[in-house]
Structure 1
Amino acid sequence: MGLPNIVVEFLTKANTAITRSERGIVCLVISDTTKESRITEYKSISDVVETDWSEENLKIIKETFLDGPSKVYVARVKTEETLTNIEKDLDLIKINWITHVNNDQTEIVEYVKKRNLKGGSAAIKAVVFNQAANDTHIVNFTNVKVTRSDGAEVDGYKYLGRITGMLAALPLDRSATYYTFPDLASVQEPEKPGEAVDAGEFVLFNDYGTVKAARGVNSATTTEKEDLKKITIIEGMDLMKEDIIETFKNQYVGKYKNNLDNQSVFVAAINTYFRQLGMSGVLNPDFANLAAIDIEKQRNAWADAGTTEALDWDDETVKKTPFKSYVYMRANVQFSDAIEDLEFSVYMN
């Protein structure tokens, strides 16, 4: 009776993919000595006790909430401390996006890379200031100065909370490209914005009275696939990975015998999930987004374990002979990018 629960779980996750993606969880790390508390959870700006923070940090916290992330954890480090002092505390909370409002950005880069290397279902992403991290999960914001709408000019790194909150609240049915920041009057642009974007920098530019994001790219520069430089693509990949792993753990692991029938139900459930993601625009609906049992991996697993005759099995025999407790799967999908570029040729007769 349990197997249909997998289908229901995947359908629920697919149908809520857009709304879930626009309600991301932020962790804002700031230096503050006003109170002793380490990590404070806020679900809305109204939860913030203003006297708990310095005036400058309060402004940063409020900016982080402007676009409506679902939750903001504010992690407090003392003046003499570094990020390493609270790493164990950070490891205990689930977050989607993190930033450290600080001059020294090396530790946050190291933390994100280290945490993501541990695996798990949920990858974290970071917004850093002027750090060429070359990582698909790290966004490198590089505007040296920004001027708020009230005329106050601040260093770019003090705007990290605002950028992070925006990206956490951005739904998967659009990208950060040309996102408008009405709370800014102007920014100090890089000398060559186009080259900055090509170098993996997330930059803002002045556009006739408004401030916009040039292009929604992360800091990756050496990846062979251009799509992996797009924030929106990585967000979609992370959401899909988390949904599949969490559903597998919660609805499948330990509950069913490892045979072809049960594996096939799981494959069918994932393909239903893919179809729904196509209908919502996360995946390209015109592409054959399909998952299947990875026959070659399963065959090689038997061969590596000493059953060399598996190399001569036909595909159907391999599928009917699962390897111990393992489910080997593969998928071929195409994520939908946002409309960002136009080529328009006009011919005159």
Structure 2
Amino acid sequence: MGMPSITISFTEMAATAVQRGDRGIIAMILKETSLGLIKNPIVCTSAEDVPTSLKKENQEQINLALMGYINAPKKVIAYVIQDSAEDYSEALNYLKTVKFDYLVVPTVETDEQTTAVVSYVKAQRAANKLIKAVLPNTTGDNEGIINYATEEVMVNDKKYTTEQYCARIAGIIAGTPLSISCTYAPLSELTDCKRLTKEEMDAAVDAGKFIVWWDGEKVKTARGVNSLTTLTDKKNKQFQKIKVVDVMDMIANDIRMTAEDSYIGKYPNKYDNKCLLISAISNYFDRLITDDVIQSYEIGIDVSANRAYLKDNGENVDSMSDDDIKTANTGSYVFLTCKLSILDAIEDIVLPIAI
């Protein structure tokens, strides 16, 4: 008879999780003097797709993003607006309906639109569209904002400012597999960068800045952190890691979308079907363990939430056992509790050497 359909859906989603995580999608907002024959959006999966009708600077920005890291990004979706546009509202409204992982705007600092983009990303994440943005010199204090902050980098005699190089940083992050981090990713095309002391680099990372540095032989990224610096009980140090947030966002998106497509509205809300959902999600997590994305998990019915729901609906919960609470009718609600242990990458090695 085979597995129930919801289990199949979660199993299929898990089977492609790492592949999807390895090849992210970058959204880019570009400005041109005249749109001419340009049709939005411009979708590029390789350098051959970059339109020659774009000005040289914009062609370069797309190509920088496509360089990637271990993998190239899956694609770059560029939306072009006119130089005369007062803000990015046209492009940002369009991108609300587009699936992507990272947003980058090569002129955002020059155009004084950083605050608007930060607000946009925060609002989208609050609405469960879990995008991130790579922005120059931006104290976003949010896991969805990567604050790239190296003053300049060089390719021989050519220099790139912070905002000009954000596309390259977005490509590195989007091209990083879920099983590793973008920490210490080499930038082989660079010949030098703004050099900092060890103390200055430590201070930058602690301040939520993503930087690149010269290690004496080559330029490479520092620790892969986002701009989050204010920690709470709900957002601990793990939320400062780009890798960990990418995994959390992927899991949240996968579970929400698969449940919407294969579960919600399609099963009576009885205990057996709640267990079916738990089993299907467990299969998904089991695959992520196999693929070294997470280490362990716990998932089950949230008895406390069930009890609160029943009490609010007039049930005498004091006379009910935990099993009664767990199997009770909770209307249209399925209250679950989950705890994950997400695998980070090796980034800190402690090796005292005794002589």
Could you state the TM-score of these two structures normalised by the residue count of structure 1? 0.93
SS at match of 1:75: strand
Pairwise CA distance, 1:42:
2.0
After TM superposition, give the deviation of residue 199 of structure 1 in Å. 0.3
SS across alignment from 1:29: strand
The letter for the 2-side match of 1:98 is L
**Cα distance in 2, alignment partners of residues 323 and 260 from structure 1:** 10
Q: Secondary structure at the match of 2:130?
A: coil
Counterpart of 1:130 in structure 2: which amino acid? N
The 2-side partners of 1:110 and 1:80 are apart by: 22
Cα pair 2:42 2:79 within 8 Å, conserved = yes
Where do 1:134-149 residues align within 5 Å?
134-148=141-155
Q: Which of residues 106, 109, 115 in structure 1 aligns to 2:124?
A: 115
Q: Distance in 2 between matches of 1:127 and 1:296?
A: 39
Q: Does 1:43 align with 2:45?
A: yes
Give, in angstroms, the shift of residue 151 of structure 1: 2.8
1:254 to 224, 246, 265: 265
- The runs of 4+ residues in structure 1 deviating greater than 3 Å are none
Gap runs ≥5 in structure 1: none
Q: How does 1:172-321 map to 2 (within 5 A)?
A: 172-190=178-196, 192-224=200-232, 225-284=236-295, 287=296, 289-307=297-315, 309-321=316-328
Aligned 8 A contact 2:46 2:66 in 1: yes
Please tell me the residue identity of whatever aligns with 1:26. I
The 2-side partners of 1:75 and 1:185 are apart by 31
Alignment: residue pair count: 340
Counterpart AA for 2:101: N
Distance change >3 Å, CA 2–CA 109, structure 1 → 2:
farther
Query: Aligned partners of 2:292 and 2:30: how far apart in 1?
Result: 36
Judge conservation of contact 2:208–2:229 (CA < 8 Å) in 1.
Answer: yes
Secondary structure of residue in 2 paired with 1:255: coil
Give the structure-2-normalised TM-score. 0.92
Question: 3-state DSSP class of the match of 2:353?
Answer: coil
Contact 1:294 1:329 in 2 (8 A): yes
Deviation for aligned residue 1:185: 1.1
Residues 93-135 of structure 1 show CA distances to partners (whole Å, capped at 9, x for unaligned) of: 111110111223222111101111222xx40011010010000
Identity of matched residues, %: 29
RMSD (Å), alpha carbons:
1.6
Q: Counterpart amino acid of 1:61?
A: I
- Work out the CA distance in 1 between the residues paired with 2:78 and 2:169: 15
Aligned amino acid, residue 123 of structure 2: K
Partner Cα separation in structure 2 for residue 257 and residue 114 of structure 1: 33
Cα deviation code 1:209-249 (max 9, x no counterpart): 31111100000001241111000000000111111111111
Which residue does the alignment assign to 2:105?
100
Counterpart CA distance in 1 for 2:5 and 2:181 is 33
Deviation at 1:306, TM superposition (A): 2.9
For residue 3 of structure 1, report the CA deviation from its aligned partner.
6.3
Amino acid across the alignment from 1:71: K
* Residues 116-166 of structure 1: per-residue CA shift (max 9 Å, x gap): 1222xx400110100100001110000111112x43112111011111112
Work out the CA distance in 1 between the residues paired with 2:105 and 2:332. Answer: 41
CA offsets 1:242-266 (integer angstroms, 9 cap, x no match) = 1111111111111110000011011
* Native 8 Å contact 1:112 1:124 kept in 2: yes
Question: What is the CA–CA distance in structure 2 between the aligned matches of 1:27 and 1:269, rounded to whole Å?
Answer: 32
> Which deviations, in whole Å up to 9, do the C-alpha atoms of 1:12-62 show, x marking residues without a partner?
222322211011111011222242544322232212221x21111111111
Q: Partner of 2:137 in structure 1?
A: 130
Moved more, 270-279 or 260-269: 270-279
| Residue 91 (str. 1) matches residue 100 (str. 2) | no
Q: 1:303, 1:311 within 8 Å by CA — same for their partners in 2?
A: no
Q: Do the aligned residues in 2 keep the contact of 1:200 with 1:221 (CA within 8 Å)? A: yes
